[in-house]
Amino acid sequence: MRVLKLFLIKEFHQFSRDPKMFMVVLVVPVIQLIFLGYAANRDLNNVSTAILDNDKSAASRDFIDDFEKSGYFTIKYYADNYDNLTREIDDGNVLIGIVIGKDFEKKINTNSSADVLVIFDGSDGNKAAVAAGYVQTIASGFAKTIVLEKLEKSGMKEPLVASIEAETRIWYNPELLTRIFMLPGIVGLILIVITTSMTSLAIVKERELGTLEQLLVTPIKPYQMILGKLIPFSMIGLVSMTLVISVMTLWFGIAVKGSMTLLFLSSFVFMLSTLGLGMFVSTISKTQQQAMITAAFLIIMPMIFLSGFTFPIENMPLEIQYISYAVPLRYFLIIIRGIVIKGLGIGDLWEELLILFLMGATIMIASSFRFKKKLG
């Protein structure tokens, strides 16, 4: 135990003498969280719109007003003809173009179908789909208002045909903000970067400087060396996570609804995988540059793409979905989002936590054996 204690003191002294490492581990994660908190935003609250009103009637103006009053659409351009409207879409000045047909008001008054053409810039499918939903909602609301007004003028208080009114309740994220969903996942990314990349770099650096060979001739045992390398970075990872959660709570107002104890326990279990992967990378890398590239392209990027952090897993091909089950970050994202956003407890998350522990223990044991073999 005394040898391990001295080894840990050596590691922390080495860390404190490297100001660049201090910046990377403790300052950069907070800056990344703030930038991503504002940049990682898929919300669509300002749909730039061009209008071609071929009717120029009171009804068409009311229809356009509904779009402006919704708060989602900004009318940037009123076109004189169809070619001018499509040119605005082609140039990327607007996301959608709305063409109101002739006799729009006349057809409404004669109970005929009024023509409205909506053209979307589908370059970004997600934006186009969201905007299409907004348009459909506004058009349906406008049509319903017309029906009710006609019924009222005819003296009928209730429609002859029964209708269904859906009462919508949104739990956990009432404003449907992307930020609330994305920011808890940043904690997982930061833990991967710190524990995987920094661990592999630190071990490879020892080998490059020749200090690893010097340690081998000391009385220190392999398991003590492994613990001495992993414990400091696990502690640093937890400190970084604490800073990030504090910024997430105080800066962005996203409070942790669940147990902080469970959150830190889950993070520690997750770090079994990331630390083990960092140690594995160190055994197949000869230089720090090689370790950094290997960790980024072999570990970090696949985890980000296959975990559900960036792309929904259910939208992936079935074969890729099966592969995602082998990604530890997938389970950690479910856990941390469940704790932070929904306030879930161990009774709801024990399956993901158990899988994460078994994966972490397997990776850690396999990497430790390979590391000790490499030392030998």
Q: For residue range 40-86, what is the model confidence (pLDDT) as tens digits?
A: 667 677 899 999 999 999 988 999 999 988 888 999 999 999 999 99
- The CA distance from 326 to 331, in Å, is 9
Report pLDDT for 119: 93
Judge if pTM exceeds 0.85: no
Report pLDDT for 120: 93
CB-based contact 322:238 (threshold 8 Å): no
What pLDDT tens digit does each residue of the chain (376 aa) get? 676 676 677 666 766 676 666 676 777 778 878 887 777 667 677 899 999 999 999 988 999 999 988 888 999 999 999 999 999 999 889 999 999 988 888 888 887 888 889 999 988 887 888 889 899 989 988 888 887 777 676 666 555 555 666 677 778 888 777 888 888 888 888 888 888 888 888 778 777 777 766 666 666 776 777 787 788 888 888 888 888 899 889 988 888 999 999 999 999 999 999 999 988 998 888 888 888 899 889 898 999 899 988 888 988 899 999 999 999 999 999 999 999 999 999 999 999 999 999 999 999 999 888 877 666 5
SS (H, E, C) the chain: CHHHHHHHHHHHHHHHCCHHHHHHHHHHHHHHHHHHHHHCCCCCCCEEEEEEECCCCHHHHHHHHHHHHCCCEEEEEECCCHHHHHHHHHCCCCCEEEEECCCHHHHHHCCCCCCEEEEECCCCHHHHHHHHHHHHHHHHHHHHHHHHHHHHHCCCCCCCCCCCCCCCCCCCCCCCCHHHHHHHHHHHHHHHHHHHHHHHHHHHHHHHHCHHHHHHCCCCCHHHHHHHHHHHHHHHHHHHHHHHHHHHHHCCCCCCCCCHHHHHHHHHHHHHHHHHHHHHHHHCCCCHHHHHHHHHHHHHHHHHHHCCCCCCHHHCCHHHHHHHCCCHHHHHHHHHHHHHHHCCCHHHHHHHHHHHHHHHHHHHHHHHHHHHHHHC
